[in-house]
Amino acid sequence: MQQPICTRCTELEAEIERLSRDPVTGLAGRAVFDQMIGLEFSRAKRTGASLGVLMLDLDHFKAVNDALGHLEGDKVLARVGRVLRASVRGSDTAARYGGEEFVVLVSATSPEGLRVLAERIRKRIERVGLATDPAPYTVSIGCACIHPGDKEGLQIVERADAALYTAKETGRNKVCMAEGAE
């Protein structure tokens, strides 16, 4: 016997939600982020609202997987996911971008607010540890804000990524703002 249509819709909605989440971290997946940045960029351009992106990369994460194994590495990623969920507002989007990279889409905040959020996240992740490895885990974070000349949201992501590489190249475990975001 066929289920009532509303029950089937509910099941499909639950399946879509499950598929849109990264299974290790519980954060949004890359496809969700890509869709959200397009939507939020269009809204910000239309309304003149601010929009920022944090690009995060766990420092020396390959060493964690090599020393402790991928299952323990997944536990670290899951804890980072919990830190990000606890650190951002419901209107923001935290996502696993790939591997040990994460991204946060932050609406309606100033460049200084973006920096404060990034620093709060950096400090919280530094406190993440495992019973089998109590050493702190660190993260490098790049921050970027929308510019008036931007044509698409991915330009903000590119600037955040460049700032992330600056953070990594200048010592890791730090927050760097993209040029023009100060």
- Supply the residues annotated as catalytic: 100
The single-letter code of the amino acid at 57 is D
DSSP string, 155-175: HHHHHHHHHHHHHHHTTSSSE
If one counts every other C-beta atom within 10 angstroms of the C-beta of residue 130, the result is 15
What residues contact residue 45 under an 8 Å CB cut-off, 6+ apart? Answer: 146, 150
